Structure 1
């Protein structure tokens, strides 16, 4: 039950003072049975004229900031204190009817899962479908959790992780062809592959940390991305293809969405002379404290 301290600082730098439009900030971890906020602060410089909080359609916490002054630099500094209670793989308990693939989601759940089953990317030659079906057992019953676990580990084993600071995500086809990508590229490939097999899958944005010296995780220093798949009996289960792991050990959820464009950590506009923008710098640091449970205090942000 580790205690974590998270620091996420994003800085935009300009050649001369510019004015800022509305900014949307999504960096506050979600409260749940397995992650509990103790403290949360968001400091913005220059100080916004107004900041308000809301929950989006998926229940993610979003801050909306507006500004009334110009500046050469804009900084968002998020500090989080959080208690994490990771679940182990053996706690994935799938309903009897869904333990062997294929299965059909129940009539009660299907209406709410449909949009998470729909494909989001064109695949006219069915290349994603073909790749996904390689994980099916052609000589006997196919274990449902086994399909997804094998898919997660195959991406980790067969693809090359390459950090990329530029905005944007490769299409799943591009990732399949290039055999390399970032955590968000891997997540989108696995989501499309899972949906090709009829699973409800969602994109998750958050933070990754190494639970111990023996369990080193790839993807730190920035936000991290992985996948959630709905399995009857256990609900939404985490799969991290970048690290080849199943379960939430080492993963802190911030945003859960249907498609990646809905989970941008910080977005907004600025206006000024053309060419004013110099750079954006992102620094994420997660510190694991002693595994001592703390009593939650008031949360401010």
Structure 2
């Protein structure tokens, strides 16, 4: 059994003050399977009232409205998560696994995880990649999934900021480089192409000194879950060629990134914005006190303090709006 303390800080800084921000976040870890969220808090500066609901995929969503003028928005999410050991994923399944998978799909409600979605499209570039990697129904579904996880890991080079949050998968396929979001979207689209339900997972990956993951440790992470007979949903991390075991902390699942961005909102005003994100995950074998706070780096506390100060000058209310999303 492992326990993880997580702090996720997001700061939006505006070149000129804005008159209103409306935001929703998906940073509250899920409680399902082997994972249980013991505590969660969301702090927002400027201060406001935060509301919560569950979306159609069972994700915990917080949303808020800041109607007053401000030149900075700071969001700090703090979580304590318990994870129990998982059963090892085998190398292969029984000879009738394809038939068993088709029966599961016919009897269940998995259509959304089989159809193309915003960022997981069967483009000509993807279909050509499927041909090169021999992504077809052969052997058994689990063997194909294992092989594809490794193939995508080898196909792409992990390069931070090489793509944008709204980049289509064709950009990563053409350049052979991307971030975890691109790895996940490509794998999802390839799996759906051969009739395997696949969904996008947003969350965090804990890294110890002994781990050698190539994904960036101080940001949120993304990976894939695949529906398989006898195993249900199995997590795979093509960015790091891993099975998603106890180091992967799940916050939200959906068809692709469009369903689960950590932050998603609009502001009223006409100005440029700057996004800063920092994530810290700490592990322990014993449960820390529920009221324990992680050490806050000096720059974080300064951010919160500055965000609570009144703006230096006022500007007229404008009607322009801009989407804000967070790269994984």
TM-score (norm 2): 0.79
Structure 1, unmatched stretches of 5+, are none
Task: Work out the CA distance in 2 between the residues paired with 1:178 and 1:165.
Answer: 9
Structure 1 residues 124-139: aligned runs within 5 Å: 124=124, 126-134=127-135
Q: Is the 8 A contact 1:53 1:64 kept in 2?
A: yes
Secondary structure of the residue aligned to 2:186 is helix
Residue 147 of structure 1 pairs with residue 148 of structure 2: no
Task: Work out the CA distance in 2 between the residues paired with 1:107 and 1:3.
Answer: 33
Partner residue in 1 for 2:170 = 173
Task: Work out the CA distance in 1 between the residues paired with 2:192 and 2:133.
Answer: 9
Secondary structure of the residue aligned to 1:8 is strand
Q: Is the 8 A contact 2:136 2:194 kept in 1?
A: no
Residue 113 of structure 1 pairs with residue 110 of structure 2: yes
Residue 262 of structure 1 pairs with residue 256 of structure 2: no
Partner residue in 2 for 1:21 = 21
Q: Is the 8 A contact 1:37 1:82 kept in 2?
A: yes
Task: Work out the CA distance in 2 between the residues paired with 1:132 and 1:227.
Answer: 18
Secondary structure of the residue aligned to 2:9 is strand
Task: Work out the CA distance in 1 between the residues paired with 2:199 and 2:3.
Answer: 27
Q: Is the 8 A contact 1:93 1:234 kept in 2?
A: no
Partner residue in 2 for 1:233 = 230
Task: Work out the CA distance in 2 between the residues paired with 1:38 and 1:74.
Answer: 27
| 1:153 Cα deviation from its structure 2 partner | 1.3
Partner residue in 1 for 2:295 = none
Secondary structure of the residue aligned to 2:15 is strand
Task: Work out the CA distance in 1 between the residues paired with 2:17 and 2:167.
Answer: 33
| 1:175 Cα deviation from its structure 2 partner | 2.2
Task: Work out the CA distance in 2 between the residues paired with 1:296 and 1:17.
Answer: 37
Secondary structure of the residue aligned to 1:74 is strand
Quickly say closer, same or farther: Cα 1:108–1:88, change in 2 above 3 A. Answer: closer
Quickly say closer, same or farther: Cα 1:60–1:93, change in 2 above 3 A. Answer: farther
| 1:102 Cα deviation from its structure 2 partner | 6.7
Partner residue in 2 for 1:82 = 81
| 1:107 Cα deviation from its structure 2 partner | 5.9
| 1:292 Cα deviation from its structure 2 partner | 2.1
Partner residue in 1 for 2:250 = 253
Task: Work out the CA distance in 2 between the residues paired with 1:158 and 1:107.
Answer: 31
Structure 2, unmatched stretches of 5+, are 292-328
| 1:96 Cα deviation from its structure 2 partner | 6.2
Secondary structure of the residue aligned to 1:26 is strand
Partner residue in 1 for 2:158 = 161
Q: Is the 8 A contact 1:86 1:250 kept in 2?
A: no
Match of 2:181 among 180, 184, 192: 184
Task: Work out the CA distance in 1 between the residues paired with 2:92 and 2:131.
Answer: 28
Residue 64 of structure 1 pairs with residue 60 of structure 2: no
| 1:21 Cα deviation from its structure 2 partner | 3.3
Residue 286 of structure 1 pairs with residue 285 of structure 2: no
Residue 38 of structure 1 pairs with residue 34 of structure 2: no
| 1:280 Cα deviation from its structure 2 partner | 0.8
| 1:241 Cα deviation from its structure 2 partner | 0.2
Partner residue in 1 for 2:316 = none
Quickly say closer, same or farther: Cα 1:221–1:199, change in 2 above 3 A. Answer: same
Task: Work out the CA distance in 2 between the residues paired with 1:254 and 1:117.
Answer: 21
